[in-house]
Structure 1
Amino acid sequence: MKFNDLSVKFKLWAIVLGLMGALVVLGAGLMVHTESVTKESDRVVAFGNERIFTALRWKSMTQSSVDNLLAAMQASEPDLSARLLAQAQKTSADVTELQ
């Protein structure tokens, strides 16, 4: 069977069906690529969020340690000063562990 012997109707339908098949294959490939890009971007965002959370935690713990140390130096009662100093040392050890 030669191409010239086929009817025009068959040729037109072959073109339409061929284009539809190409669109289905292209859509499936695009879907797979989009899924892989989404997974990679989710991984990068999660890594960034973890680093931000760690930095904020480090900052707040350091600030708390400094506040306790300053309060211990300004306290007039020895028991309060000792307790605040112990708290500052514990927080400082936690900060060192976090780093």
Structure 2
Amino acid sequence: MEIIKLKDYPEICDKIDFDIKDGKIIYINFSLNGKNVLIDLKNLFTEMEVSAFSEISFKDIDEKYHPLVNELIKYIEKSERNNLIKKKIIQMKHKNL
């Protein structure tokens, strides 16, 4: 599970927890001061393929959440790139053994 701690959205959300498995978000939760918030976004993103994040239609998302969603997308894309690099390194090590 990964956690994003946010400081720029004190009235909206201060933490996002999520878990990705096989290229899909299997769990995501938005919270503010320990309480679950943004249930609509949670429902939208749960079970979404990570590859689909770059094609999200922002017309379905309240405009005040756009910066938060953009930050989430950047974080997830970076996280997935790092995971892919780690997998490639492990594969190369096993290949060389």
Q: TM-score, normalised by structure 2?
A: 0.37
Higher helix share: 1
Structure having the higher Rg: 1
Higher relative contact order (CA 8 A, sep 6+): 1
